[in-house]
Every structure is written in C-alpha cells, then in structure tokens.
Amino acid sequence: MLSQAQMIRIISLLMFFGLLSGLTGCSTWMTGSFKDPDVQLIKVDVVKARLLEQEFRLRFRIDNPNGVNLPVRGLDYNVHLNGMLLAEGHSNEWFTVPAHGHHVFEVPVRTNLWRHVRQIVKALEKPDVPIRYSLKGEVKTGMLFGRRVHMARNGEIIPGDFIPE
C-alpha cells in the first residue's frame, strides 16, 4: 500500500507531465517561430439605426500562418471617425483558427452618435469629401500563455457612396 506522501508525489508528477505535454502546442510561441495572425475588417453591417442608438456588426477575418491551431480568446477594439471616438468595446468570443487556415467572426457594436451629430451632419454636407476612419484593436490569443496581437487599419470612406439617390 502506498503512503500518503508517495501518493501526493505521484499525483504531482502526473500533473507536471500533463502540464508539460499541454504546453507543446505553445512551443512555437516560446521559440520565436510564431507568426502573428493577420486580422482584417471585411465588412460592416448596419443592424439598426435609431436616433439615440445605432447597432452595427463588424465582421473580421483572421488568418493563421502557423503550423498549429491558434486559440483566440477575444478582441478589444476602438473605432474613430474623423478623429472622434465612434465605438469601443470587446468581444469575449472563444474560437480556434486552424493551422494555415482562417476564421470569420462577428462583433456586435452599439454606439450613440447623438453627441457627435453636429460633426456628422457637417461631414455629410459634402458627400464627395472623404471621411477618415481608424480601427485599432488587440486580439487575445493562446490559452495558458496568451499573446496579444495588435491590429490597426486606417482609411477613408466617401459618404456619397452610401447615400441612395
């Protein structure tokens, strides 16, 4: 019969080896051969546009250039329009991007443009003048030893392209 001290030692060793074998998937992060995934905003859908609250759906695509699956634990983001903060928030959706594959995910966004109505109306008075946008975020990857992947996209939209004739 095993003594309590021997039993504790055996259980501790089993837990250590289990943890060590679980970390083999993270070895690319430790050795430096890990390549950051590419995150792209591919579409913005307007869900509801009311006077005091607007709802959008941001659709992202994340490409994994690594030879191992990439667990993703969420996304922190902020969106600016002509320098004014349009929306910020986070998504806690967990998913796995396959090795050398991609995954498309959606993030719901709610905002209140009422406080910016003057700047928005002024920008819409000239529908041919581009409006600058900026999207910044941080994708949280990994399980035990997480890594944060920064993303930034800047560009311009022309309001006249979205106004029906």
Q: Which residues of 77-88 are buried (b: 16+ CB within 10 A; e: fewer)?
A: bebbbbeeebbe
* pLDDT value, residue 107: 87
The pLDDT score that the predictor gives to residue 131 is: 83
Q: Which two tokens stand for residue 6?
A: 């021997």
CB atoms near residue 43 (< 10 Å): 12
What pLDDT score was predicted for residue 14?
A: 61
Q: CA-based angle 94:41:100, to the nearest 5?
A: 60
Residues β-bridged to residue 57: 45, 108
- More confident call, 35 vs 49: 35
Q: Is the pLDDT reported for residue 103 higher than 90?
A: yes
Average pLDDT score over the chain:
78
Q: Is residue 99's pLDDT more than 90?
A: yes
Q: Which of 16-20, 68-72, 95-99 has the lowest mean pLDDT?
A: 16-20
pLDDT in tens, 64-79: 999 989 899 888 988 8
Whether the pLDDT of residue 29 is over 50: the answer is no
